[in-house]
Chain A
Amino acid sequence: MRKWLAALLAAVSASVVAQETIKIGVITDKVGPAKPYSEPTLEGIQFGANEINAAGGVLGRKIELLIEDDQGRPDISAAMARKLVDAGAVFILSITLTPATQQQQNVTLEAKTPQMTPMNSGDTLTTQLQNPYFWQTGPLGSIQIATLLSHARSKQLKRVALITDNSDLGQLLAKFFRAGLEKSGIQVVAEEVVPRGATTAEPQMQKVRAANPEAMFMAGVLTPENVLILRAYRQMALKFPIHSSYNLSVPQYMSVAKGLLNGITFVDAYDPEKPEVKKFEADYRKATGKLPYNIHGYGYDGIKMVAEAIKRAGSTDKEKIRAAMQSLEFSGVMGAKGMKYVFPDGKRAGFDPNGMVVRVYEGDKQGRVVHVGQK
């Protein structure tokens, strides 16, 4: 009788282990300034996780997402990371503001828990702290400017204006834009900031006009403030070309900046002609009834990479996952055709420097790819 009971207990516990999920933590911003980016990224992650689970999961186990909201606040983001580590997350995806993601690293480094941000663009995330458990797969700010500059090089620019907003990321991107421009020997003749909540950008654009630049680079990431800049540009009938950060790649501009967009070039990590993108869009639409856009792709690629790393590690041992992640090569939705995320020579920023594209607005529509990479 005792033998039978022991065998039954063993069978039940084996079944429980087999059904135990693999916990992936997600730290998002549900109410703060990163929400417009965090929300579609999270939807991309959830879609990817559902797809993985429908195909049998990873290592025979389903993925379970543990979602925490840090409100984009660095002061509470580390506590969210600690909560996820304590809840048994074997990997954390950070889709919040760059400073908040930075703070979380203090916990993941100490707890030796793999962490990745699939969407933050700040160059400093993998350089300020030597955290071998952290990776970044979104296109860096420096890659954006290098790609834009590479496209603009044919124009032989000597004098340009730079305009941004006062958000953390807008300031950080402007810093990288300025450094890239100066490195290329291009003079920044006007540098302007449109603060969050402004009701006009006319004074800033008047200063830009007075400086008489050959082109203007936009590094801001706040959509309403960028729309103010574009409106002032059109109202003042300015003719110099505008080259923008990836922010103009979000589709909301097509509705909130109607009539203001034609001819503006913007850097993007999304090529609608790429076969992987076409499949992703069709699958997403079938599953949710909505058409995804580039930001969804960041989250989708992020969860797929995490799943691939766990699969290659062959276990949920965090050290093995770390090693598998560092040696990962992965083709996803984001990036130019044929781009792979790689982490060579211990680097932890995985977006290929030649993986971005430059697109142009044709009327109010995001148009064709006019340039690829930095060559």
Chain B
Amino acid sequence: MRDLLELSVSAAASGCIYALVALAYLLMIRPTGVINFAVGEWAMVGAFGGFLLLSKYEWPYALGMAAVLGFMLLVGWITERIAVRPLVERGAPLLAAILALLGMLVVFREGISLGFGPDPHQVPEPVSFEYLKLFVIGATLVVFAAVWLFFERTLWGKAFEAVALNRRAAALMGIDLRRVTVASFAGGAAAAGLAGLLVAPNTSAHYLMGVPLAIQGFTALVIGGVGRVEGALLGGLLVAFAEQLTVRYAPLPSGYAQGVPLLLLMLFLLVRPTGLLRARA
């Protein structure tokens, strides 16, 4: 029983990290249809931002966190301007933007690797380690509540939803598609950066941390469903619980257990490609 309780908190905290990465995907996919696999590298950039401001320059945590999130908004905006918008304006297919963003993944990773070297770097925790998981869970719930309110209660949120439902109709109604697109990338980068900042005290900041987070976040997104914000949270939690309960309790060699979330991903793609939560009509 002690193990199960410990594991529940641990899986919930890991699930929140996956959920934030899934949210980053979702914020971009809904209005633009673009799957941006560089979200993992954005999380890495957020983690290194934490290292720089919180470890190296020893800023107060709240200030450092705000600065990292502000910087990530900028990173998302710039990424959209240089890797997506030029392609959209030339009428390139969606796949071109996805491939360009894969290129950006390499640019981010190698940029960090050149700038900070290959060694992992320590990022301080906002609270003492025994409460870190609760902090991660709390911060994630606040973000999800804020994003949910944004979509449900604000005009801007409705504009996002309108673009997600029908881009052409939304444009005809006077919604600025460019603005929505750039805001979706900026928001996605901030969500991913927050995931990196929150996971880094545990894993440290290192240049290869992005791709595994991108895979786990994508799995969470597919399981939870692309259509609704709550789906990202549900998917993240399900992936983490499946992962950790399998390792702990399934009669499988430890090395095999890591394949379980990927099996879940394949299962959902085959049986329920819309995920657990479908978009509202």
Q: Which residues from chain A sit less than 8 Å from chain B, CB to CB? A: 31, 33, 35-36, 39, 166, 191-193, 195-200, 202-204, 206-207, 210, 223-224, 227-228, 231, 235-236, 252, 255-256, 258
Contacts and interface: CB of A to CB of B under 8 A. Distances in A.
A193 B120 contact: no
A304 to B, nearest CB: 24
A200 B6 CA distance: 12
B107 to A, nearest CB: 12
A223 B202 contact: no
B140 interface: no
A35 B113 contact: yes
A197 B255 contact: no
A191 B253 contact: yes
Interface string B100-132: 000000000010010001111110000001100
A33 B208 CA distance: 8
Closest 9 CB pairs of A and B: A197-B212, A203-B247, A35-B118, A203-B248, A193-B255, A36-B118, A193-B254, A195-B258, A199-B14
B122 A231 contact: no
Contacts of B110: 31
Contacts of B211: 197
- B interface residue count range (under 10 / 10 to 19 / 20 to 34 / 35 or more): 35 or more
12 contacts: A39-B118, A197-B211, A199-B14, A202-B10, A202-B244, A203-B10, A203-B248, A204-B254, A206-B6, A207-B254, A224-B204, A236-B6
A196 B248 CA distance: 17
Contacts of B240: 199
B154 interface: no
A197 B216 contact: yes
B122 A192 contact: no
B258 A39 contact: no
Nearest to A231: B202
Contact of B122 (A196, A210, A256): A256
B199 interface: yes
B58 to A, nearest CB: 14
Given A166-B255, A191-B254, A202-B6, 13 more contacts: A31-B110, A39-B118, A196-B212, A197-B213, A198-B212, A202-B244, A204-B247, A204-B254, A223-B204, A227-B120, A227-B204, A228-B202, A235-B130
B206 A224 contact: yes
Given A31-B110, A256-B204, A203 B120 contact: no
A206 B7 contact: yes
Contacts of B253: 191, 193
A258 B130 CA distance: 15
Given A206-B6, A224-B209, A199 B122 contact: no
Nearest to B117: A39
Contacts of A35: 113, 118
A249 to B, nearest CB: 14
A36 B203 CA distance: 16
Nearest to A223: B120
B89 interface: no
A235 B129 contact: yes
Best-surrounded residue of B118, B119, B255 (most CB of chain A within 10 A): B118
Contacts of A193: 253-255, 258
Contacts of A224: 120, 203-204, 206, 209
A200 B209 contact: no
Interface in B220-274: 240, 244-245, 247-248, 253-255, 258
